[in-house]
Chain A
Amino acid sequence: MRYSLTHLKELEAESIFVMREVYAQFEKPAILFSGGKDSIVLTHLAKKAFWPARIPFPLVHIDTGHNFPETIEFRDNLVNKLGCQLIVGSVQKSIDDGRVREETGKNASRNALQTTTLLDTIEHYQFDACMGGARRDEEKARAKERFFSHRDDFGQWDPKNQRPELWNLFNGKKHMGEHFRVFPISNWTEMDVWQYILMENIEIPSLYIAHEREVIWRNNSWLPVSEHIKLEDSDKPEKRMIRFRTLGDITITGGVESDADTLAKIVEEVAAARQTERGNRADDKRSETSMEDRKKQGYF
């Protein structure tokens, strides 16, 4: 149809518009880069938005120290190719400095500790806008999130007192010490992200693609065996064809059994999926409002 965009092109145009607003309205913006598909898409959009100039933002990785090795390799390659700056905020360092205390026990995770490291990193580098790849379809608290989301000087989100956001007029005004989280792909769904990766042929870590991996069955999903996970006698490691729908801390990111070994097969699998992608994330299962609670404190 003449003068009409497909849904992916319209979403892309909206995200590029938002990223250019961030560049124009803030002094020191950054991209929060986790190595997951959403932040990879975000980085790809930034490349398009400012071409032929380089991406005018550093990539900030909040590193739990519990990574899939593939994630780090992928991150370093990407940064190299784009020629942009990489800033790593280390959760291990926050623990060593006594800023946070490590959780213990079988289901211990560094997920919640990331908030402190993230806020410390933002403060240290004086970032006034941090762009993240969070989407509104992911989780009920995120469904209420703005594109430009205000954070007070403690980095907290106040969901009941958000600024109205109309048309495409974004208000990034703030006082000293406050900052913004900006979510350029707010309106994308998991399906949109995969279709876009396929359409644009974007490189992604092999973790998303089905491979034979050593896993254990825990909390209703396949958890990858790694040095960061405490095996108990009842855990029986076995080899399965596994892929991951989301990538987070290796200790809490469960995989699904799959034979989707190409992008096209992944899109097909996502279309037929009957479970949400975060269904395999132990961090969201702690309570009905765990995402909302973490977000209020300054989580991604």
Chain B
Amino acid sequence: MAEQNSYLDMQLLRFTTAGSVDDGKSTLIGRLLYDSKSIFEDQLDAVEHSSAKRGLQHVDLSLVTDGLKDEREQGITIDVAYRYFATPQRKFIIADTPGHIQYTRNMVTGASTANLALILVDVRNGVIEQTCRHSFIASLLQIPHLVVCINKMDLVDYDEQAYRKVVGEYKDFASKLDVKDVRFVPISALHGDNVVNRSEKMDWYQGETLLHTLETIHIGSDHNHIDCRFPVQTVIRPHNDKYHDYRGYAGRVAGGVFKPGDEVTVLPSGFSSKIKEIHCFETKFEEAFSPMSVSFTLEDDIDISRGDMIVRPNNQPHMLQDIDVMLCWFNQRGPMPRGKYIIRHTSNEARCMISEVLYKVNINTLHRLEDDKEIGMNDIARVRLRTTKPLMVDDYSDNRSTGSIILIDEGTNETVAAGMIKL
């Protein structure tokens, strides 16, 4: 629990966990919440009650993460669940996602906003298909930090060699991935070793506990503070006497640092002006950066509306109508041949079609499947989209916000796919 006087300098860290009950994922989350004193007494009472009802001898911490009625009945996780805890240093948001192959869409969803991914490996099994799948999705979604928890160390007598062997296996595999920061922690979620409290049984491990890593890992550079991008969400026009001529362009900074006086270009029109003031409510800002929600006023009265993007004249995104993306398909119905979809990109919207499927990816082996181009639910494929108008895009690896899209079925209104833009 956070101390009340430190709350004004706490940071927020979002992380995702993927795995099944067998890996001890739920037990690990239960352990993190329990040992950081984030479980309330009435929640614990409920877990004790459920444990007893299932005839268990001990309090099963994994039941802390129980959700919907069907999930409890079937002992599975159907959907992403969000959990929260805090220490005096940070507030944490966990996107708790099921790890089965058929739930790729949930893993992708949970990963899309995460700063960090926890990958769970059972030390007895080493790197298995599921480990590869989770790691690949983390790298595909460009989660900046991976923490590989080598779990169930208690079942191998806390043996250093067993741990080293799995670390070696993982490093071999990870060389194929695009991840910058990978760390390893030997843990026992069941007994709490190296989760919140340092293990007394693994003095050969000199590294940090899992919670300490979560509390201290540097996340300051996770946002892009170089390329200025401001997608306009809406225009604020008060129409009252005091602010009669006020036109505020409201949005959330998607990249770079904007300052009053900066020369800016508005896309797609190409008109130029200067930033007059940056506001959020009555506070005037000297600079605005991602992920702040602010509104800009400009020196000149130019036509700007939702979907436009304010950028710097010498650093502009690409204006493209043919866009290559890594697409994750979410819907039971595969893409319609030459079907049209609504494409959402930042606050912008257009129509598009999948003009070409380049290849599918086997998410367990990372192999490209050049011959199999039939996209189905939970498939990941490299495709080319043709849009009805140019979109202002960046490569996903440069900017997760201006580099991402979703596709919406025009008939059912469902979100059928998500994509990472590749330039």
Contact = CB atoms under 8 A, between A and B. Distances in A.
Contact of A160 (B3, B70, B242, B252): B70
Contacts of A136: 82, 84
B152 interface: no
Given A3-B257, A17-B293, A160-B70, A167 B401 contact: yes
Given A140-B67, A173-B413, A273-B40, A165 B281 contact: no
Given A3-B257, A53-B238, A274 B281 contact: no
A165 B109 contact: yes
Contacts of B7: 7-8, 191, 195, 199, 267
Given A167-B113, A167-B400, A53 B81 contact: no
B78 interface: yes
A27 B281 CA distance: 24
B368 to A, nearest CB: 24
Contacts of A186: 82
A6 B8 contact: yes
Given A6-B9, A166-B112, A171 B408 contact: yes
B223 interface: yes
A242 B405 CA distance: 50
Interface residues of A, number: 67
B314 interface: no
Contact of A268 (B4, B236, B413): B4
A13 B291 contact: yes
B69 A144 contact: no
A236 interface: no
Given A23-B234, A271-B3, A271-B4, A13 B79 contact: no
A143 B4 contact: no
Contact of A143 (B83, B86, B236, B401): B83
A7 B404 contact: no
A7 B84 CA distance: 12
Contacts of B346: 169
B2 to A, nearest CB: 6
B10 interface: yes
A167 B231 CA distance: 14
Interface string A259-300: 000001001100111111001000000001100100000000
Contacts of A192: 91
A163 B408 CA distance: 10
Contacts of A203: none
Contacts of A47: 281
Nearest to B106: A164
A31 B415 CA distance: 25
B108 A166 contact: yes
A16 B40 contact: no
Nearest to B4: A267
B243 interface: yes
B382 interface: no
B22 interface: no
A288 B54 CA distance: 15
B237 A53 contact: yes
A205 interface: no
A93 interface: no
A50 B109 contact: no
A230 B82 CA distance: 39
B105 interface: yes
Contact of A164 (B8, B109, B257): B109
Interface string B257-291: 10000000000000000000001111000000101
Interface in B325-344: 330, 342, 344
A51 interface: yes
Given A13-B291, A51-B279, A264-B4, A144 B42 contact: no
B109 A191 contact: no
A50 to B, nearest CB: 6
A146 to B, nearest CB: 9
B422 interface: no
A171 B306 contact: no
B153 interface: no
A279 B68 contact: no
Contacts of B72: 288
A7 B90 contact: yes
A171 to B, nearest CB: 5
Contacts of A234: none
A99 B84 CA distance: 39
Nearest to A20: B233
A191 B90 CA distance: 13
Contacts of B78: 160
A50 B400 contact: no
A34 B80 CA distance: 28
A236 B4 CA distance: 37
Interface of A: 1, 3-14, 16-17, 20-21, 23-24, 47-54, 136-137, 140-141, 143-144, 159-160, 162-169, 171, 173-175, 186-187, 189, 191-192, 195, 199, 264, 267-268, 271-276, 279, 288-289, 292
19 contacts: A3-B220, A20-B250, A23-B234, A49-B250, A51-B281, A53-B243, A140-B66, A143-B83, A162-B79, A164-B109, A164-B330, A169-B404, A169-B418, A171-B344, A173-B408, A175-B413, A199-B7, A271-B1, A271-B3
